[in-house]
Amino acid sequence: MEDFNLNNQNMLINVLHNWNGLTLEQLFRERWKAPKKLVHEWRMSKEVKLNGHPVTWSTILQQGDMLSIPIMDTAENAAVQATNLEIPILYEDDWLLVANKPAGMDTHPSQPGDSHSLINGVAYHLQQTGQICMIKHIHRLDQDTTGAVLFAKNRLVGSMLDRMLEEREIKRTYLALVEGILHTREGEIKEKIGRDRHHATRRRVSPTGQTAVTHYRVLNRDQKRNLTLISCTLESGRTHQIRVHFSHLHHPLAGDTLYGGKRIFKRQALHARKIEFIHPISEENMIIEAPFMDKPEIFDANL
């Protein structure tokens, strides 16, 4: 992604072949589907430039042109306290990054004053690398789930990734160890999920809940320990979805005591292994894998 860089708080973008013939207006509104408020700000500021010069929004783009977009959102990161948590960064460019979340850590602060969440660690990384930009998580993982979490570095890409997630254009693949032996090679769980009235943090399968679909595939069966290693993808992103669905099938995740699993491990055996999406700006196919971090290992011996 060497074509993208910051210059005086403006983002420089080489116009792609795929954008040939589009007007500046069409790029923002139709292809990027940028927020109307943001487009209005940029139009009024007259700071959007092509090849270093202000242009009208009817200007037609050609491959090789250099587009300059103002960032204008650096203040939004001021509320995120930077904390050195040694967060592994799996991928990064000027627009977004993917971090590998450890177990026992929230994705974002759960209460005022909390400064030991993943986003605090990512903010520290940005600070140490001299990056003055906002940071926004696009999705979350449970406190004791490890793996890949996607972040945006500005409002434009934040809104684009939010839409992509909503329209299921971001694919996340999870690995889980469930109790018992699953005999079917693959399957689909379509059970609605709602809150559990009797437990503040737990969810349950409920006919009045939100639609939730989990696809799974068996990777390995550990007969000796009576565990099955599975790969999962979601059509929805409900709280605790994988945990609730497999508990409902009487195959709770190993270590997931909240949903009936035995304390085989110190946490539920769930890892966000891979994230795949088309980069919203470069339009490259992104496939980013998250290594395991557990010590002692939970998954490695089973792969």
Q: Are residue 106 and residue 53 in the same domain, yes or no? A: no
Q: What is the per-residue pLDDT for 76?
A: 54
Q: What is the per-residue pLDDT for 200?
A: 84
Contact 147, 100 (CB under 8 A): yes
Task: Give me the catalytic one of 73, 142, 144, 256.
Answer: 142
What's the structural domain count of the chain? 3
* Least confident window among 15-19, 111-115, 157-161, 247-251: 111-115
- Nearest Cα residue to 297 out of 261, 258, 262, 271: 271
Q: Are residue 97 and residue 161 in the same domain, yes or no? A: yes
How far is the C-alpha of 94 from the C-alpha of 1, rounded, in Å?
Answer: 8
Residues 173-231 have pLDDT tens digits of: 999 999 999 999 999 999 999 999 888 889 999 999 999 999 999 999 999 999 999 99
User: Which pTM was predicted?
Assistant: 0.92
Q: Are residue 82 and residue 46 in the same domain, yes or no? A: no
- Nearest Cα residue to 144 out of 59, 263, 228: 263
- Give the mean pLDDT of 128-136: 91
Residues 289-298 have pLDDT tens digits of: 999 999 999 9
Strands 285-289 and 186-190: what pairing?
A: unpaired
Tokens of 207: 């006919």
Q: Are residue 91 and residue 79 in the same domain, yes or no? A: yes
Answer yes or no: is 286 within a domain: no
Query: How is residue 124 annotated by DSSP?
Result: H
- Residue 86 pLDDT more than 60? yes
Q: What is the per-residue pLDDT for 197?
A: 87
Name the amino acid, one letter, at 29: R
Domain that holds residue 260: 173-272
Q: What is the per-residue pLDDT for 7?
A: 44
Q: What is the per-residue pLDDT for 198?
A: 86
Provide the greatest CA pair distance for the chain.
Answer: 69
pLDDT tier at 138 (50, 70, 90 boundaries)?
very high
Answer yes or no: is 282 within a domain: no
Answer yes or no: is 44 within a domain: yes
- Residue 4 pLDDT more than 70? no
Q: What is the per-residue pLDDT for 301?
A: 58
Tokens of 36: 């109307």
How far is the C-alpha of 192 from the C-alpha of 179, rounded, in Å?
Answer: 22
Residues 47-79 have pLDDT tens digits of: 899 999 999 999 999 999 999 998 755 555 557
Name the amino acid, one letter, at 43: R
Residues 259-280 have pLDDT tens digits of: 999 999 999 999 999 999 999 9
Q: How far is CA 78 from CA 34, 124, 170, 250, in A?
A: 23, 12, 28, 45
142 is annotated as an active-site residue: yes
Name the amino acid, one letter, at 289: E
- Residue 110 pLDDT more than 90? no
Q: What is the per-residue pLDDT for 72?
A: 55
Calculate the average pLDDT of the chain: 92
pLDDT tier at 45 (50, 70, 90 boundaries)?
confident
Which of these three, 70, 91, 112, is where a domain ends?
70
Tokens of 211: 């639609």
In CATH, what number is assigned to the domain containing residue 255?
Answer: 3.30.2350.10
Answer yes or no: is 40 within a domain: yes
Strands 227-234 and 203-205: what pairing?
A: unpaired
Query: What is 12-80 written as a DSSP string?
Result: EEEPPGGGTT-BHHHIIIIIS---HHHHHHHHHHT--EETTEE--TTPBP-TT-EEEEE---GGGGTTS
Instruction: Give SS3 for 96.
Output: strand
Which of these three, 50, 70, 90, is where a domain ends?
70
- Residue 158 pLDDT more than 80? yes
